[in-house]
Amino acid sequence: WEKGNLGVQPICATEPPETARLLQHWRHYQFEGIRPFFCQIEAVETAIWLTEVAPKMGPRVAKFWAHIKGANEQANPEL
C-alpha cells in the first residue's frame, strides 16, 4: 500500500490530521534518548492503515480482512 498498491494513496494522505502529525513526529523529531526503531513505526502505520484506511476501501481489501480474521481465530479461538 505504501507503493500505491491497491490504488491507495500513501498513508499520510488518507489519515486524519492528528495521525499524520503523530507519524511525522515519530519520523522526524530529534529525540534526546532512544528514538522509535523504523519497524516500530511501520507496525504502527500498518495498524493505522487497517483501522483508518482499509475500512473505507470496501471490497478491495476484503481478502486481507478475511485472512486477518481467520489467523486471529486460529491463534485466539476463545477471544
Q: Which three cell numbers stand for residue 36?
A: 522509535
**2 or 41, greater pLDDT:** 41
Give dist(CA 22, CA 57) in Å, integer.
Answer: 23
| pLDDT one-digit tens code per residue, 61-70 | 888 888 988 9
| Burial of 22 (C-beta count, 10 Å sphere; 0-12/13-18/19+) | middle
Q: What pLDDT is stored for residue 28 in this prediction?
A: 86
Q: What pLDDT is stored for residue 73 in this prediction?
A: 93
Give dist(CA 79, CA 77) in Å, integer.
Answer: 6
Rounded to two decimals, the pTM is 0.60
Other Cβ atoms less than 10 A from the Cβ of 75: the count is 8
Count of domains in the chain?
Answer: 1
The parent domain of residue 50 ranges over 5-75
Other Cβ atoms less than 10 A from the Cβ of 52: the count is 14
First-residue to last-residue Cα distance in the chain? 29
| pLDDT one-digit tens code per residue, 19-61 | 888 888 888 888 898 888 889 989 988 888 888 888 888 888 8
